[in-house]
């Protein structure tokens, strides 16, 4: 792939000086139109070989456009804090909102390429990470982002000359480190691994653009024009059309599913409940204080029909935990800030470091539940949601997160009983709204969505626990027992 970027592309300074003012004016116009319309974000990845002009180009782009509306982030090795969360968390948190340009200097490509070159990662693992990157970028594009990937390249002789030139001058020697020369010693390996990475991840929705970096005028003007062309085409035309995901599963012919086959008659006596509750809360407390938990974190997701007892169950869990080491995140309709980002962004931003517990009262499953049923997104969006959720949870698990997902299930009659009880109890009346009554009419649609959700997203790393919750006390005990067993199986 790199041959065309080693043939000595050049541009005269006269041509450069003539073209740059026009390019800057067009870039600014496109940037302000992007900001005004807020239809999509622009994610610019700047990668390539050392000494090829990546930093200079990033500085120029900030000079040519309004830097107030550009988020420029340089990624090096993960910090101690970042290494205590899943790998992709820091990249998710750096994504620009709609209307903004984000320039990522170094990205999710750096670590897999470097580790593969240095022999720290097997080929199978490297290929899996590339596959995950393809899925991630496809998701960004499906969520509306414009992804522009720029690879700045130098041939071996050109890179050697460039590094020596930078190192020989007091003005520029700070740009070159021992690490740069150490990597240059592996130039051939870096070229081979990088070429494979680019070939496997240059897709129709997020192609790579390879720019020869030896001539400053050529690389700068080329990068600026690629950015302008990408933004202009998206502003003036429709978003890219992606291949649709697989269709939803067909219901079984006997209409039996994971909800209507539960045993809702299970109960527990008050005395047995008090005994088991105290025992299980102590067990959970001891588990969260295990030495092994210093390298793990816990994420618990609660979903269920309205009035299924999620809140009261969460309170029985938090009473077992050190208040300094857990958070509860109630999930409602997305805010304006959250709507400006890809769907999973608002959940990634909360993922805790090792040693902490996070409880979601409703979760990322809203995309395949309420958004599906209420038609808040199109079928292609919630259908691809299954795969995106599975990838999200797999990345959490690989980053040391112990996942536990609970669906609190009640019958339609039991829900009606609880709704009426809430209406009669003054301090509970805030819990019942017209929206709750309206949702009851869509019970069959939600039941179908839940069945599909469990079928498609209950995995080894993130299994679903479907709890019959007509008896609240029995359900709480079952949740606590399942949670303890889940943590024990992962430690």
For residue 51, the model assigns a pLDDT of 84
Structure tokens at 217: 């005028």
Between the ranges 77-81, 117-121, 221-225, where is the mean pLDDT highest?
A: 221-225
Q: Looking at the domain assignment, is residue 263 inside a domain?
A: no
Smallest Cα–Cα separation from 223: which of 433, 48, 439, 77?
48
Question: Lowest mean pLDDT: which of 158-162, 205-209, 300-304, 350-354?
Answer: 158-162
For residue 175, the model assigns a pLDDT of 78
Q: In the chain, count H helices and then E strands.
A: 19, 10
Strands (DSSP E) along 391-486, which ranges?
A: 401-409, 464-468
Last residue of a domain, one of 210, 236, 262: 236
Is residue 245 within 8 Å of residue 387, measured between CB atoms?
yes
- Provide the percentage of residues in the chain whose pLDDT is more than 90: 78
Is residue 457 within 8 Å of residue 385, measured between CB atoms?
no
Question: What are 146-168's pLDDT values in tens digits?
Answer: 999 999 998 888 888 888 888 88
Number of structural domains in the chain: 2
For residue 184, give its domain range: 3-236
**Residue 183 pLDDT greater than 90, yes or no:** no
Q: Looking at the domain assignment, is residue 356 inside a domain?
A: yes
Q: Strand pairing of 357-361 and 208-212?
A: unpaired
For residue 133, the model assigns a pLDDT of 96
For residue 244, the model assigns a pLDDT of 74
Place of tokens 């618990």: 300
Per the model's pLDDT, the better-predicted residue between 46 and 184 turns out to be 46
* H or E element at residue 92: helix 89-92
Residue 5 binned pLDDT confidence (cut-offs 50, 70, 90): confident
Mean pLDDT of 467-489: 97
For residue 258, the model assigns a pLDDT of 87
**Same domain, residue pair 175 and 308:** no
Per the model's pLDDT, the better-predicted residue between 341 and 180 turns out to be 341
Last residue of a domain, one of 183, 215, 236: 236
**Same domain, residue pair 316 and 204:** no
**Residue 248 pLDDT greater than 80, yes or no:** no
What integer best gives the mean pLDDT of the chain? 93
**Same domain, residue pair 231 and 279:** no
Smallest Cα–Cα separation from 115: which of 75, 73, 154, 77?
77
Place of tokens 């022999």: 119
For residue 251, the model assigns a pLDDT of 77
CA atoms within 13 A of residue 352's CA, in its CB half-sphere: 24
Q: Looking at the domain assignment, is residue 264 inside a domain?
A: no
Question: What are 380-432's pLDDT values in tens digits?
Answer: 899 999 999 999 999 999 999 999 999 999 999 999 999 999 888 888 888 78
**Same domain, residue pair 325 and 472:** yes
**Same domain, residue pair 231 and 276:** no
Last residue of a domain, one of 188, 215, 236: 236
For residue 81, the model assigns a pLDDT of 87
**Residue 247 pLDDT greater than 80, yes or no:** no
**Same domain, residue pair 220 and 275:** no
**Residue 176 pLDDT greater than 80, yes or no:** no
**What is the distance between the alpha carbons of residues 194 and 2, in angstroms, rounded to a whole number?**
10
Q: Looking at the domain assignment, is residue 116 inside a domain?
A: yes
Mean pLDDT of 189-198: 93
Give whole-number Cα distances, 15 to 4, 19, 228, 348, in Å. Answer: 22, 6, 18, 46
**What is the distance between the alpha carbons of residues 433 and 412, in angstroms, rounded to a whole number?**
17
For residue 3, the model assigns a pLDDT of 84
For residue 282, the model assigns a pLDDT of 96
CATH of the domain at 375: 3.40.50.300
* H or E element at residue 45: strand 42-48
Long-range contacts of 379-383 (CB under 8 A, 24+ apart): 379/248, 380/142, 380/242, 380/244, 380/245, 381/142, 383/244, 383/245, 383/246, 383/247, 383/248
For residue 283, the model assigns a pLDDT of 97
Q: Looking at the domain assignment, is residue 260 inside a domain?
A: no
Smallest Cα–Cα separation from 265: which of 477, 476, 470?
470
**What is the distance between the alpha carbons of residues 140 and 168, in angstroms, rounded to a whole number?**
42
pTM, full prediction: 0.89
Question: What are 425-476's pLDDT values in tens digits?
Answer: 888 888 788 888 888 999 999 999 999 999 999 999 999 999 999 999 999 9
Question: Lowest mean pLDDT: which of 97-106, 111-120, 236-245, 356-365?
Answer: 236-245
**Same domain, residue pair 23 and 117:** yes
Q: Looking at the domain assignment, is residue 255 inside a domain?
A: no
**Same domain, residue pair 222 and 74:** yes
Give whole-number Cα distances, 174 to 221, 253, 384, in Å. Answer: 25, 70, 46
Mean pLDDT of 80-100: 94
């Amino acid at each position: 792939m790199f041959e065309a970027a080693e043939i000595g592309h050049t541009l005269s300074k006269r041509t450069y000086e003539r073209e740059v003012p026009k390019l800057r004016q067009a870039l600014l116009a496109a940037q302000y139109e992007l900001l005004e319309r807020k239809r999509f974000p622009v994610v610019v990845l700047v990668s390539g070989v050392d000494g090829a002009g990546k930093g200079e180009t990033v500085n120029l782009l900030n000079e040519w456009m309004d830097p107030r509306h550009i988020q420029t982030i340089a990624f090096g090795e993960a910090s101690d804090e970042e290494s205590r969360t899943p790998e992709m968390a820091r990249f998710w948190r750096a994504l620009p909102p709609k209307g903004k340009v984000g320039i990522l200097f170094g990205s999710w490509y750096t670590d897999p390429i470097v580790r593969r070159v240095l022999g720290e990662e097997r080929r199978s693992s490297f290929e899996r990470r590339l596959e995950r990157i393809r899925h991630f970028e496809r998701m960004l594009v499906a969520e509306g982002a414009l992804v522009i990937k720029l690879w700045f390249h130098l041939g071996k002789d050109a890179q050697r000359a460039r590094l020596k030139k930078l190192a020989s001058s007091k003005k520029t020697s700070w740009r070159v480190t021992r690490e740069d020369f150490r990597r240059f010693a592996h130039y051939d390996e870096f070229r081979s691994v990088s070429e494979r990475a680019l070939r496997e991840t240059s897709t129709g929705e997020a192609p790579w653009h390879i720019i020869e970096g030896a001539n400053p005028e050529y690389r700068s003007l080329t990068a600026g024009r690629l950015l302008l062309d990408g933004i202009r085409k998206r502003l003036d035309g429709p978003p890219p059309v992606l291949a649709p995901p697989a269709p939803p599963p067909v219901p079984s012919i006997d209409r039996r599913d994971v909800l209507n086959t539960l045993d809702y008659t299970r109960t527990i006596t008050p005395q047995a409940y008090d005994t088991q509750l105290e025992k299980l809360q102590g067990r959970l407390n001891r588990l969260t204080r295990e030495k092994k938990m210093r390298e793990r974190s816990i994420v618990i997701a609660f979903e269920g029909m309205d009035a299924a007892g999620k809140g009261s169950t969460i309170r029985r869990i938090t009473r077992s935990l050190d208040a300094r080491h857990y958070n509860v995140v109630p999930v409602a309709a997305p805010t304006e800030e959250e709507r400006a980002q890809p769907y999973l962004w608002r959940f990634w931003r909360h993922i805790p470091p090792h040693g902490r517990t996070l409880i979601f009262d409703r979760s990322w499953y809203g995309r395949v539940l309420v958004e599906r049923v209420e038609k808040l997104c199109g079928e292609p969006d919630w259908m691809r949601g299954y795969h995106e959720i599975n990838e999200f949870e797999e990345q959490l698990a690989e980053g040391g997160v112990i996942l536990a997902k609970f669906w609190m299930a009640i019958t339609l009659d039991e829900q009606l009983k609880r709704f009426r009880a809430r209406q009669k109890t003054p301090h509970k009346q805030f819990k019942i709204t017209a929206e709750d009554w309206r949702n009851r009419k869509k019970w069959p649609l939600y039941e179908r969505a839940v069945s599909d959700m469990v079928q498609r997203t209950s995995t080894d790393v993130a299994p679903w626990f479907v709890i019959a919750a007509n008896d609240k006390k029995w359900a709480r005990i079952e949740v606590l027992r399942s949670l303890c067993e889940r943590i024990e199986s992962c430690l």
